[in-house]
Every structure is written in C-alpha cells, then in structure tokens.
Amino acid sequence: DGGITQSPKYLFRKEGQNVTLSCEQNLNHDAMYWYRQDPGQGLRLIYYSQIVNDFQKGDIAEGYSVSREKKESFPLTVTSAQKNPTAFYLCASSIGSLAGVGETQYFGPGTRLLVL
C-alpha cells in the first residue's frame, strides 16, 4: 500500500519544548516537502528536500529544522524559537525536480500541532 504517512495525528507542545513530526513515504520519491497550513492562509512552504542529505529553506523556515538522512523519511522539528506553532502541518513528496516534469505533489494526512 503506497503512500505518505504522518505521525502523530495530533501533537501537543509545551512552552519551550521542541517537538518532532514524522513523515515517511514508500513511493520512492526523491523530493519531499513540509508545509504549514493556517486558516485562510493556504499552504506555506517550510522546508523542502530534493535529494537525500540535502534540504533547502522555504518561505517560513524560521523556528523549524529538518533532516533527510534516508530517502523515505523527512522529519520536521518545531523548535522553541517558533513562537506561534499552532497549525496543521502537511508533508508531501514528488518524483523530483531532476526529472524535469511538472511537479505533482502527493500529500500525507497531516499533523495538527497544538500548544498547551
């Protein structure tokens, strides 16, 4: 059963705490992405990775960090520096920019992060 999984579905963060959101894909895609979704704001790109061991900042990277040690995994850490972390976080993947084709992105089910 191919696809993208995100865990947990809900996550609670305390003041000053770092939390990590998991994203795994078994689609054999090279590129992976993290988006933040707030009501009325659409999808805003946090970080993206086109290949293992490489990643780039998106439009709103401050307060977040990522790693890409394996092709199938792209975890996102929301650090204590992110002062307004409450949002719906979406992970996506695509075949890869190097393929030179229109980038169809496939999304996971999302993680809702709430601050206690």
Partner 1 sequence: QQQVKQSPQSLIVQKGGIPIINCAYENTAFDYFPWYQQFPGKGPALLIAIRPDVSEKKEGRFTISFNKSAKQFSLHIMDSQPGDSATYFCAASDSGGSQGNLIFGKGTKLSVKP
Q: Catalog residues that contact partner 1 under the rule CB under 8 A.
A: 4, 6, 33, 40-43, 45, 48, 50, 56, 58, 90, 92, 94, 97, 100-110, 112
| Minimal distance, residue 4 CB to partner 1, in Å | 8
| Minimal distance, residue 77 CB to partner 1, in Å | 20
| Minimal distance, residue 15 CB to partner 1, in Å | 26
**Distance of alpha carbon 22 from alpha carbon 106, whole angstroms:** 16
Which is nearer to partner 1, 2 or 40 (by Cβ)?
40
Element at 44 (helix H, strand E): strand 42-51
**Distance of alpha carbon 52 from alpha carbon 70, whole angstroms:** 6
Which is nearer to partner 1, 8 or 17 (by Cβ)?
8
Give, in order, the Cα–Cα distances in Å from 102 to each of 5, 94, 95.
Answer: 23, 10, 10
| Minimal distance, residue 80 CB to partner 1, in Å | 27
Helix H segments across 3-74? none
What are residue 54's DSSP bridge partners?
Answer: 51
Helix H segments across 47-107? none
Which is nearer to partner 1, 7 or 97 (by Cβ)?
97
